[in-house]
Amino acid sequence: MATLVILVPGHRPYPVGDAQPVLTFGRSSGNTVIIDDPSISRLHARLRWEQGQAVLEDLGSRNGSQVNGAPLRGTRTVHPGDVITLGRVDLQVENRTAPLARVEEPEPDARNVTFTMNVDKLRRLEAGQGSGEAPRLRQALDLIHDQSLLLLSETSAETMLADLLERLAPLLKPSRAAVLLQGPGGQLEQVAVWTPVGPSLEPIRLSRTLVDAAVHRREAMLMNDPMADPRFGQASSIVLSNLTSIMTVPLEHEGKVAGLLYFDAGPSREPFTEEDLRLAASLGHLAAAKLQHDRMAAEIRKKRDLEREMEIARQIQERLLPADLPEVAGYDLLGENISCLHVSGDLYGFWPRPDGRMWLAIADVAGKGVGPGLLMATFQAYMEAWSGSDLDPADLAARLSATLGRNTPSNRYITAFLARLDPATHTLEYTSAGHNPALLLRQSGAVERLESQGLPLAMFPGSVYGQSRVRLEPDDLLCLYTDGITEAAAPDGTEFELERLEALLRIHHGAPLPQLNGALQAALGHHTQGSPMTDDRTLLVLRRNPA
């Protein structure tokens, strides 16, 4: 699979390719790569993977972007070996992905495992309790614990993890040291590797025993003379590296393992000791706590940003609903929308015409949240634009369906009841695009159900719709609603259903419309017994006044 990797100072490598087609860079928490540098804008740049190439675009940053020292204007394709400069920060483009640790199956002989202990017990050991304790190491442990306070500062976890190896290497003197974190799929991904000659991208190979001990059993493990085990000694990584001592420590905090620290050494160094393991475990615990804290803080920031965006979307959508009900001679009107989320997928509206007639509609988008809310805003805009035309309800539904369907995913559609009222003749022309039956309650108490006359809008563009006409007599009441009302469920799953709605309308037929709505909301609350709403509830009621 074609992939490049972007190397950012103090960060793990970031792949961009078929599996990760977009990277955004900036100081804002909403970016893929968050770079905490004053020269970086909140939304600085974007890297897109298009047709097997990485295309860089500056997003109007304050300090600009460069590729190999040349200012970036518009977009530019970047290649392995290029240097991307964002503000004052240099990024490297490499033709490789972040290496995954290779877990090998051969198991070591238990006789060659020098020391293993549960990480919680290991941390509780005090200096002087381990074997081979030396004053130099005790002093080093105190020093590292003092310096570990810096790990609780505002330094990012990624920077801290890279620095952690630099802090431990002079004390442990390993041949190699690595930080490996669990990726989304559970694989161990190298985020930093230390060697005496500098950082390395060479993949670390681990035995299954080491991985299981650290990740699954939360155990730190010290293994000296692994070559003595013929099965384990045949592992190519150990044979080629001539390893004589290996040490792993889980990055664990409050029972959650984020990854592990790995150290190995060859014959030129004395084997690692229990004190070395305790030292690494102490710092590993702090590193894991910092990593979890940063992840939780990022999640909180992301959630807050999303909540702010949702609140803005909700405010915008509220403005799409009628702020005031139109005054129609001889008629009373009521409309209400109660969303189960920040953004509703329901809508109702009134659109008076210059000739005295008026369009009214209720609609429900399949799904919930921002996507349906945006589609509903589009529906409202089309109604606003076309309500003044001479289209009949059936023709309006056909045009809405064709237009919405051109730019709507196949799993998004709108059920809608569209009607045009003529107050002068008291006639109502209507069509129903897959919507719940409207209820026309006559003054006599009889209920007529105005059934669907076509498929939901945008489901099959090009569909043909029927239409009908009814005359409204004095004291007749028309009730339009969405299925969030009739499908409101009790704790045992029993729905409110259409029959309960009809019965309630008969009882409160002559009441003022706000009182009727209050009775309906009370009945819904009594039926659901406080159960959370699972769908938006929208109501539109029209009643002709008594003669």
CATH of domain 2-97: 2.60.200.20
pLDDT in tens, 241-250: 678 899 998 9
pLDDT at position 290 is 76
pLDDT band at 126 (very low <50, low <70, confident <90, very high): very low
203: Cβ contacts below 8 Å, ≥ 6 apart: 99, 100, 101, 102, 190
Q: Are 480 and 359 in contact (CB under 8 A)?
A: no
Q: Average the pLDDT over each of 97-111, 342-356, 417-431, 444-458 and give the range with the smallest value.
A: 97-111
Token reading at 417: 């009841």
Q: Give residue for tokens 């592990």.
A: 260
| Residues of each domain in the chain carrying CATH 3.60.40.10 | 323-544
Average pLDDT value for residue range 466-472: 97
Cα gap 351→513, rounded to integer Å: 20
Partnered with residue 429 across adjacent β-strands are 420, 469
Q: What is the reported pLDDT for 138?
A: 62
Segments of the chain assigned to CATH 3.30.450.40: 102-125+135-296
Predicted pLDDT of residue 506: 94
CB 226 within 8 A of CB 238: yes
Mean pLDDT of 396-411: 88
Residue 441: what pLDDT? 97
DSSP 3-state of 394:
helix
4-57 pLDDT tens trace: 999 998 888 888 988 888 999 998 877 889 998 888 988 899 999 998 899 999
- Rounded Cα–Cα distance for residues 348 and 539 (Å): 8
* Confidence band, pLDDT 50/70/90 cuts, at residue 98: very low
Domain with CATH 2.60.200.20 in the chain: 2-97
Cα–Cα distances (Å) from 327 to 332, 337, 425, 470, in that order, read 8, 20, 17, 21
Q: Is 380 left (phi over 0), alpha (psi -120 to 50) or beta?
A: alpha
Q: At which residue do the structure tokens 């007639």 appear? A: 357
Rounded CA gap, 312 and 343, in Å?
9
Q: Which positions ≥6 away from 281 have C-beta within 8 Å? A: 119, 122, 123, 220, 249
Gap between the Cα atoms of 269 and 384, Å rounded: 79
> What's the whole-model pTM score?
0.52
Instruction: Look over the chain and give the mean of its residue pLDDT values, rounded to a whole number.
Output: 83
Fold annotation for 323-544: Phosphatase 2c; domain 1 (3.60.40)
- Topology of 102-125+135-296 in CATH? Beta-Lactamase (3.30.450)
pLDDT confidence tier of residue 312, bands split at 50, 70 and 90: low
Contacts of 535 (CB under 8 A, 6+ apart): 340, 368, 482, 483, 484, 487, 488
Model confidence at 294: pLDDT above 90: no
Reported as a single tens digit per residue, the pLDDT across 151-208 is 556 667 777 777 778 878 888 889 888 888 887 777 888 888 888 887 767 777 777 7
- Measured CA to CA, the distance from residue 397 to residue 127 in angstroms comes to 79
What pLDDT does residue 231 have?
47
